[in-house]
Structure 1
Amino acid sequence: MSDQVVMHPQLNPPNFEHSLSDSDSEGNNEGPNATGAPVVPITDNEQDGEGPHTVRVARPVPPIDYGPQPPLVNIKELMNLAFRPAALNTRVTCHISRNRDGLDKIYPQYQLSIEHLLTGDIQHVMTARKKRKSQTSYYTISGVVHDSPESAGRLVELGKVRSNFLGTTFVIYSHGKNPMKKEVDSKQNDLPVREEMGAVLYDPNILGFKGPRKMTILMHTLTRDGKRPEFRPTSESETLLSKYREGGSRDLLVLHNKSPQWNEETQSFVLNFSGRVTQASVKNFQIVHDNDLDYIVMQFGRVGPDLFTMDYKYPICLFQAFAIALTSFDAKLACE
């Protein structure tokens, strides 16, 4: 089974516009091909009696590519880049390189860089390492800050990704203490409670009989003004996984990977990555919302033996996108 890349006609990536109701959005779309479709429900305090707001899509406006910026010189700049959702109508293009040399073959290191497609400029902004001596897959993610002229870049811990034993469920956290266990390290106790940033679920698929991987991505919805609220659960019942499994998904953003189509000519499952992915791999995926399968929230795929591209757009942030990509690298005992 292969996720070979093929090209077929597709609409240009859409432009997001905020609207307060379905009728308002439909009336504001311009052009003969413009259509509106709800993408992300945004929570509201509902004190004014209005229903939940939605973000809607107006086409055909291509997104602006976000290019590398000046080196990050302080932690505030790093946090803004890492945790702020992508701007509306903006695509952030990145690549991830995997280092498996020497002792890192079993526990590789991943470097995330933002790249500008027109100029070829790149900016290394994050590094992830697979933790040794862990019973489950465990990645720590750090950001790069150039706050000293003598330093090539200082690493600041941003968060982690951790899986269950089978590698079918991953949870994404910011850097902080776990309120559900007693920390041995006294330094951890001085940190704020970690923020839950998302979860990724892979459908069990023994020996691959059900076809390509199927992913479900869980996140909290954004606020009415497009900001990402902080959620720091202190009990198991407050977590994203518990809410989703109990059917309480009203305040959750639920995304899925786009199902590839079977190609008779190549005898493989294929997706259109518009040239950004060039090699077949079970790791390749595109993330969409069920209400608009043409709007690619995120895509990830192989372009070399240890080189991958990763692009993302609103409503996710760079840290979330990198964490989701890391879950794809791992071997999954029950998924293939």
Structure 2
Amino acid sequence: MSFRSIIHDMREEIGSISKKGFEVKLGYGLKSKSHRVVQDVCIPMTIHIDAFKHSCWANLPPELLRDVLMRIEASESSWPPRKHVAACSGVCRSWREIMKELVKTPELSGKITFPISLKQPGPRDSIIQCFIKRNRTAQTYHLYLGLTQALTDNGKFLLVARKCRRTTCTDYIISLDADDMSKGSITYIGKLRSNFLGTKFMIYDSQPPHAGATVTKSRSTRLVGLKQVSPRVPAGNYPVAHITYELNVLGSRGPRRMQCSMNAIPASAIEPGGVAPTQTDILVNNLDSLPSIRFLAGQKAGGLVLKNKSPRWHEQLQCWCLNFRGRVTVASVKNFQLVASPENGAQAGQEHEKVILQFGKIGKDLFTMDFRYPISAFQAFAICLSSFDTKIACE
């Protein structure tokens, strides 16, 4: 029996086990054809023990098991086939520990595999291409990973945000589950909050982005202390970045100007040898505990500052232009590219010319979002959400 046949049989076995025991949907098949997405493991799972107990893969020698899982991880390089990698990690504890070792962070692999990957910095030498679908009626925004180079594919669902208007501000609640977007859910991972004018925004993470992060007091955290809500409520609201849009004295004749101060990312992260904090676990119920995070001491003080790349005026087209390399096709005031600001303390160089995040319109309610190191998919999505908000004083 060839090794390829073994892996093929193993995948079929994993698929049958996952269908019987996982509390998760793998593959295509949501409510509507336009919403066909691939969902992977986003919450702790329960396994159908009896189904796996009688499986021929239950008692594999550790050396052989590691070799098999290593080949599966290496062969499934993109979604939707990469769902088998997520399924392997949910079979049992030993399989999960091996897969956690084999699956590299997006910074090293350029792949998004598990939900925690959405909180980890993107790749250094490439970009991750995503797109956002807006639903004006429901006031929701869905983030998808592009499966192909085409701008019209269905993509793999990553995150969803719901807009909540309040008297003095606007909140965008960000969740891993399109069917559960409440702050009391275990799938809640953060939010974006704006001021009344829509000129200043704060990004909050549901768990600490690095060691020593302080939580912002909110109604949800006060309720946790009073034990008035479910113990599975998110850990809290940790400010990780704030966004400022400058007043536009030219009105509609000039482009927007924005600045993002990434409190959770040191300015030295973009320099050679620099390191950005990397979360490795998603907490769901412990306000006092910290996740395992790689954050090196001794880095330069101060957070990374991102500024939008200044467009140039095109005389023939009579509009402001940026080179989006074919990823943006519709002119819009919402389009932007973010680069590292020289104000970070280092001399302007090649690292400050790299586009870290670009966002642009390609249809009535369809937008592209491409990001790279040192920001994560969650941070990039939150920054892009700020562009959707109405800005009374900026346009």
- State the TM-score, normalizing by the size of structure 2: 0.54
RMSD: 3.1
Cα shift at 1:251: 1.9
Q: For residues 168 and 78 of structure 2, what CA distance do their matches in structure 1 show? A: 38
Contact 2:140 2:161 in 1 (8 A): yes
Q: Could you say which residue in structure 2 is the equivalent of 1:83?
A: 119
Structure 2: runs of 5+ lacking an equivalent? 1-76, 91-99, 101-112, 180-184, 208-213, 280-299, 342-347
Contact 1:167 1:333 in 2 (8 A): yes
- 2:247 aligned with 1:204: yes
| Residue type of the alignment partner of 1:274 | R
Q: Could you say which residue in structure 1 is the equivalent of 2:155?
A: 122
User: How has the CA–CA distance of structure 1 residues 142 and 165 changed in structure 2, closer, same or farther, with 3 Å as cutoff?
Assistant: same
- 2:145 aligned with 1:96: no
Q: Name the SS for the 1:320 alignment partner.
A: helix
1:109-148 maps to which residues of 2 (within 5 A)?
A: 109-118=140-149, 120=153, 122-144=155-177
Q: For residues 131 and 210 of structure 1, what CA distance do their matches in structure 2 show? A: 30
Q: Could you say which residue in structure 2 is the equivalent of 1:42?
A: none
1:228-267 maps to which residues of 2 (within 5 A)?
A: 228=277, 250-267=301-318
User: How has the CA–CA distance of structure 1 residues 267 and 144 changed in structure 2, closer, same or farther, with 3 Å as cutoff?
Assistant: same
User: How has the CA–CA distance of structure 1 residues 181 and 97 changed in structure 2, closer, same or farther, with 3 Å as cutoff?
Assistant: closer
Q: Name the SS for the 1:82 alignment partner.
A: helix
- 2:337 aligned with 1:278: no
Match of 1:308 among 364, 367, 379: 367
Q: For residues 308 and 376 of structure 2, what CA distance do their matches in structure 1 show? A: 17
- When structure 1 is superposed on structure 2, of 316-325 and 173-182 the one drifting more is 173-182
Q: Which of the two has greater strand per residue?
A: 1
Q: Could you say which residue in structure 2 is the equivalent of 1:19?
A: none
Contact 1:297 1:312 in 2 (8 A): yes
| Residue type of the alignment partner of 2:187 | V
Contact 1:67 1:92 in 2 (8 A): no
- 2:238 aligned with 1:195: yes
Q: For residues 195 and 79 of structure 1, what CA distance do their matches in structure 2 show? A: 19
Q: For residues 307 and 278 of structure 1, what CA distance do their matches in structure 2 show? A: 11
| Residue type of the alignment partner of 1:165 | F
Contact 1:205 1:334 in 2 (8 A): yes
Q: Could you say which residue in structure 1 is the equivalent of 2:70?
A: none
Q: For residues 92 and 271 of structure 1, what CA distance do their matches in structure 2 show? A: 19
Q: Could you say which residue in structure 2 is the equivalent of 1:165?
A: 196
Q: For residues 192 and 259 of structure 1, what CA distance do their matches in structure 2 show? A: 38
Q: For residues 122 and 278 of structure 2, what CA distance do their matches in structure 1 show? A: 14
- When structure 1 is superposed on structure 2, of 299-308 and 116-125 the one drifting more is 116-125
Q: Could you say which residue in structure 2 is the equivalent of 1:221?
A: 265
Structure with bigger RCO (C-alpha 8 Å, 6+ apart): 1
User: How has the CA–CA distance of structure 1 residues 334 and 255 changed in structure 2, closer, same or farther, with 3 Å as cutoff?
Assistant: same
| Residue type of the alignment partner of 2:379 | Q
Q: Deviations over 1:286-309 (max 9, x none)?
A: 001133453110100000000000
Structure 1: runs of 5+ lacking an equivalent? 1-65, 147-153, 231-248
Contact 2:186 2:234 in 1 (8 A): no
Contact 2:120 2:278 in 1 (8 A): no
Cα shift at 1:145: 9.3
User: How has the CA–CA distance of structure 1 residues 88 and 266 changed in structure 2, closer, same or farther, with 3 Å as cutoff?
Assistant: same
Cα shift at 1:175: 2.0
- 2:217 aligned with 1:180: yes
Q: For residues 261 and 78 of structure 2, what CA distance do their matches in structure 1 show? A: 27
Q: For residues 355 and 230 of structure 2, what CA distance do their matches in structure 1 show? A: 37
Q: Deviations over 1:165-194 (max 9, x none)?
A: 111110101126964355346338865343
Contact 2:360 2:367 in 1 (8 A): yes
| Residue type of the alignment partner of 2:172 | Y
User: How has the CA–CA distance of structure 1 residues 188 and 212 changed in structure 2, closer, same or farther, with 3 Å as cutoff?
Assistant: farther
User: How has the CA–CA distance of structure 1 residues 122 and 78 changed in structure 2, closer, same or farther, with 3 Å as cutoff?
Assistant: same
Q: Deviations over 1:95-124 (max 9, x none)?
A: 1000123xx3xxx11010000334756101
Q: For residues 198 and 157 of structure 1, what CA distance do their matches in structure 2 show? A: 18
Q: For residues 252 and 266 of structure 1, what CA distance do their matches in structure 2 show? A: 38
- State the TM-score, normalizing by the size of structure 1: 0.63
Q: Name the SS for the 1:160 alignment partner.
A: strand
Q: For residues 173 and 323 of structure 2, what CA distance do their matches in structure 1 show? A: 31
Identity percentage of aligned residues: 37
Contact 1:68 1:115 in 2 (8 A): no
Q: For residues 309 and 81 of structure 1, what CA distance do their matches in structure 2 show? A: 19
Cα shift at 1:164: 1.1
Q: Which of the two has greater helix per residue?
A: 2
| Residue type of the alignment partner of 2:247 | P
Q: For residues 245 and 393 of structure 2, what CA distance do their matches in structure 1 show? A: 9
Q: For residues 251 and 366 of structure 2, what CA distance do their matches in structure 1 show? A: 25
